[in-house]
Amino acid sequence: MHDFTLNRGTTPLLVSLPHDGTALPSAIEARVSAAGKRVPDTDWHVGRLYAFARELGASVIVPRWSRYVADLNRDPGGQALYPGRSETSLVPLTNFAGESIYAAGDEPGAAEIALRRELYWQPYHDVLAAELARMRREHPRVVLWDGHSIRSRVPMFFDGRLPDFNLGTADGASCSPALRTRLDGVLRERCGSDSGGYSHVVDGRFKGGYITRHYGRPEAGVEAVQLELAQSIYMDEDSFEYMPERAARVQAVIRALLEACLAHAAFR
């Protein structure tokens, strides 16, 4: 089985879901704690949430392996995304609840981390970069959409409850002002009381991870946006059960956002 799947589309939209994977290689799983084996910090069901993206002609890339193997949305050199704030590393040692993923003394060392970066992190990014390059050869402007989700309450990272829809553009650096404004408008229109009453924020606690910041080069025709969802709006956060009726309402908003990206990319 491959480390990821890439479904190549025809439109100037690439959807990346770097934390959708749940698998652990057997040699790593044998060392992981009971808490780690549950892979609780997975972006649960985002592949299912975004399944409709292929109907829009988008390319979609989804990994097989859990973020506990190697976090595809972290800087390979270890540079912090949010200096001074809590965050997990390229190869996490604790989960979001602060529990150890490995027994004391059995944590991955520098050599193993470097090997995991080469074996698990790099291939995803090689394909991601190649697909963006292919799309740019065919389209004057493309949009990279990085889809994520997280528990609505994670004290390690933020106080209180996270807004339902968290759009990140690296404070406007990873995409054009026009796209940022268009997407903000969609959220304002679609998250009102008539559409589920969702809360939303642009460039709040989550401004975009490594993928958004690294690949977003609007001046070069590649615009990148991250969407972080509060998991409570489409699933049960304790059992990880997908809730189709809730999810359908969330999908309608996501579809509107992706359609806005396509309209933006097509604009001359």
**Residue bearing the bigger pLDDT, 232 or 105:** 232
The reported pLDDT for the residue numbered 86 is 67
Residue pLDDT, tens place only, 95-126: 999 999 998 889 999 999 999 999 999 999 99
The reported pLDDT for the residue numbered 164 is 96
Residue pLDDT, tens place only, 13-24: 999 999 999 999
The reported pLDDT for the residue numbered 194 is 57
Beta strands in 22-173 (DSSP E): 59-63, 142-150, 165-168
Encoding tokens for residue 249?
């309402």
The reported pLDDT for the residue numbered 197 is 86
Does 94 have pLDDT greater than 90? yes
Specify the number of domains making up the chain: 1
Does 88 have pLDDT greater than 90? no
Does 137 have pLDDT greater than 60? yes
Q: Are strands 165-168 and 200-202 parallel, antiparallel or unpaired?
A: parallel
Name the average pLDDT for the chain: 94
Does 84 have pLDDT greater than 80? no
- The region, left, alpha or beta by phi > 0 then psi within -120 to 50, assigned to residue 39 is left
Rounded CA separation 227/12 (Å): 18
The reported pLDDT for the residue numbered 37 is 94
What would the mean pLDDT of 120-137 be, rounded to a whole number?
97
The reported pLDDT for the residue numbered 116 is 97
Q: Under a CB-based contact definition with an 8 Å cutoff, are residues 166 and 228 in contact?
A: yes
Q: What confidence category does residue 267 fall into, taking pLDDT thresholds of 50, 70 and 90?
A: confident
Q: Please report, rounded to a whole number, the percentage of residues in the chain having pLDDT higher than 90.
A: 85
Residue pLDDT, tens place only, 141-187: 999 999 999 999 998 888 899 999 999 999 999 999 999 999 999 99
Q: What confidence category does residue 83 fall into, taking pLDDT thresholds of 50, 70 and 90?
A: confident
- Domain with 46 in it: what CATH number? 3.40.630.40
Residue 96 belongs to domain spanning: 4-266
Query: Which letter does DSSP use for residue 161 in this model?
Result: P
